[in-house]
Amino acid sequence: MTFREKRQHVSAQREVHITNKLGLHARPAAQFVKRARSFRSEIWLVKEGKRYSAASLIDTLRANLDCGASAILEAHGVDAEEALEDLEKLLAEFRKNEND
């Protein structure tokens, strides 16, 4: 058994805020989903009590994350904390990049 296989599954969550003007529309949503799929953990967006898979573009768009919206990012798996940290940074980059 390798070190990775011995790592325990953990659950993590954090609140995120959408700050870019157009929200999580098609292009950034596609980047978000691609990044979410790169992790081994299962990742969800939770908004107003509804859960949306962060690995699904349709679900991510259905979450309707416009500018000013907030949601909870949840992850369960061996890299849950790392996944949430990375995805939160990506959301912040969307705001930063729209000013370039």
What's the CATH number where 82 sits? Answer: 3.30.1340.10
pLDDT single digits (tens) 87-98: 999 999 998 877
Q: What integer pLDDT is reported at residue 22 of this predicted model?
A: 92
Look up the pTM and report it.
Answer: 0.88
DSSP assignments along 45-88, one per residue: EEETTEEEETT-HHHHHHT---TT-EEEEEEEETTHHHHHHHHH
Q: What integer pLDDT is reported at residue 99 of this predicted model?
A: 59
Task: Specify if 90 maps to a domain.
Answer: yes
Q: What integer pLDDT is reported at residue 1 of this predicted model?
A: 43
Which position has the token pair 């768009």?
61
Structural domain harbouring 80:
9-97
| First CA to last CA distance, the chain | 47
How many separate domains does the chain show?
Answer: 1
Catalytic residue among 9, 17, 25, 76: 25
Q: Tell me 97's DSSP state.
A: H
Task: Specify if 52 maps to a domain.
Answer: yes
Distance from C-alpha of 88 to C-alpha of 69, rounded to nearest angstrom:
14
Task: Specify if 3 maps to a domain.
Answer: no
pLDDT single digits (tens) 27-85: 999 999 999 999 999 999 999 999 999 999 999 999 999 999 999 999 999 999 999 99
Q: What integer pLDDT is reported at residue 7 of this predicted model?
A: 65
Known catalytic residue at 25: yes
The residue with greater pLDDT, 54 or 8, is 54
Task: Specify if 2 maps to a domain.
Answer: no
Task: Specify if 44 maps to a domain.
Answer: yes
